[in-house]
Chain A
Amino acid sequence: MLRLININRRLGDFALTDINLEISDGEYYVLLGRSGSGKTQLLELIAGLEHPDNGTIILDNLDITRQRIQDRKVGIVFQDYAVFPHMTVFGNIAYPLRVRKADKKFIAEKVGKVAATMNIKHLLERSTDKLSGGELQRVALARTLITSPRLLLLDEPLSSLDTSLKDDLKRLLRNLNKAGQTIIHVTHDYGDAISLAKRVGVIHNGKIIQEGTVDEVFKNPSNRFVARYAGIRNFFRVNISGEDGLLTAVTEQNVRFKLNGAKSAGESLLLVKSDSIILTNEIPDDKELNAIKGKITEIIPSESGMELTIDAGDLFYVKIHSSDMKKLRLIDRQEVWMSFPRDAVVILNGTF
């Protein structure tokens, strides 16, 4: 098990602040963050390539904060692969065993085995400058796995691969994890996170701002930054007033929302999940629903249909199937009703 306790590290203007993290054996943990959020720096601290200014790193009940890189048994695969250009594929994969002065026969056997798992056995004699991005990625992964690391750190492993290679590598990573390999994977891609992670942490400006299972984090984002990752764009700064059961939130443009349950009054940030919004030409009968009238100002084709921008004083973004679009005969500049249940309205706590 890996535990990071109150890790702080300043690098010029940027700082990793109060990082606390617990990762169990066999877990697939995805650390999600934009470039410059500090996710690579955090990996380098765990690997021992950098040292924290203060805080403690514990791996399998051992304090490794100041332990030598070579003794940590934490393998890292860099975003740019860092494959040694002056060695063949074999030379790269064999490197960790050669520097440990392992027996030649043992090296040949072990390299063959790992290369077979990675599906790169046919590349062993090749020079690395003739390999594709996906092949380089596998070489880098094989070279790290041959050391049997207690913890595998992956820095944006999928970022420069095309879709089919991405799927292959994802499958490979899932299998590795199933075989018991603990993995910490940093990425900026929400899609990678939901397809691989058992647990996910969101890092922003050097701080981990939310953590939990994929469902916990993306269904209940704690702030605007996390919500944006889940593709939620309908944010509104609101003022909440009223009493329990009859709470209303009002934006500066006077758009009103009916809320569910106990919320504290005052200024807050509100989001509406765009897939919960239903469009109709008439006002819905159910008075319990939120119903807001607006005018379509933009229609953009999206993967599954269209994305509409609707001006109701504030702008709403709504996704709709092409068939529904035709059925409702929606066109630009047309007025339309948006309705959604009270529980589709989420009040964000924490930082905005």
Chain B
Amino acid sequence: MNRNSIFTLIVMILSSLVLLFILAPLVGMFIHTGGAQFLETVKDKEVHQSIWLTLWVSFTATFIFSIGAVPFAWLLARKKFPFKNVVQGIIDLPIVLPHTAAGIALLGFLSRDGFLGKTASLIGLNLVNHPSGIALAMAFVSLPFLINAARDGFAAVPERLEKAALNLGASNTKVFFTISLPLAWRSIITGFVMMFARGMSEFGAVVIIAYHPMIAPVLIYERFSSYGLNYARPASVFFILVALLFLIALRLLSLKRKEKYNNPNAQAD
């Protein structure tokens, strides 16, 4: 066996160990969940409500924040401005903060004494223990995933194409919507899916803002701490399956988007 193949073999063994480390607990959890227990959980209204709440709140948070985050990502990819590196560091801050600490920081901001909490209370909205508060906590910890992926996507679009579009008479806005955005679309969707997935799996920041209404990770923790592992497992399996289905559906939808630009009868936006 030559040196190259020994090296390849060692790399493959190490890779398999890492892969196994990720898969083993998940597979173990699926194996240890009995069919009857699982069916019972599937019928459990509390679990339903909790998973639905997690999905729609995370999706809404991702959708609303993407309206600002995607143009922000374009700005980071295309423009030079003072303290750009500092801004980039601030964006990555939520990734390195302990999430409970992020929750505490947010609580100060969202409670009735905080700026946003006070403003929301003027229209009779209490952000703490409310889906809107949960959405903000999810967005806080997951926004960097969308911004960074979209920024890389925009940076990968050749500037030449944007220049050509300008030369052909398109305004800056039209260039953004007809050239930059469609060409960075895949990266934006990847970022969108990552932000959505990261948001719905958030526990630390959300549990401090809102124990109730219970999102799925809080429900799983509550079942574990009150009834033990056997009660927490089926809810976890159900949550994972539903989340996976949702992610796959999102991916498929994003692929369809591309076709619009190849239709000769379509009018550019």
Contact = CB atoms under 8 A, between A and B. Distances in A.
Interface in B175-213: 178-179, 182-183
Contacts of A44: 163
A49 B167 contact: yes
Interface in B94-109: none
Given A69-B166, A96-B169, A143-B168, A82 B268 contact: no
Interface string A115-149: 00000000011010000000000000001100100
Interface residues of B, number: 26
B120 interface: no
Interface of B: 158, 160-161, 163-171, 174, 178-179, 182-183, 258, 261-268
Interface stretch (A70-78, A263-271, A283-291, A300-308): A70-78
Contacts of A96: 168-170
A200 interface: no
Contacts of B264: 88, 90-91, 94, 108, 124-125
A262 interface: no
Interface in A76-90: 76, 78, 80, 82, 84-88, 90
A178 interface: no
Contacts of B268: 95, 98-99
Contact of B267 (A48, A76, A98, A147): A98
A136 to B, nearest CB: 12
B106 to A, nearest CB: 39
B167 A76 contact: yes
A80 B160 CA distance: 9
Contact of B178 (A70, A99, A104, A144): A99
B262 A147 contact: no
B164 A82 contact: yes
Nearest to A108: B264
A100 interface: yes
B15 to A, nearest CB: 33
A17 B116 CA distance: 56
A47 interface: yes
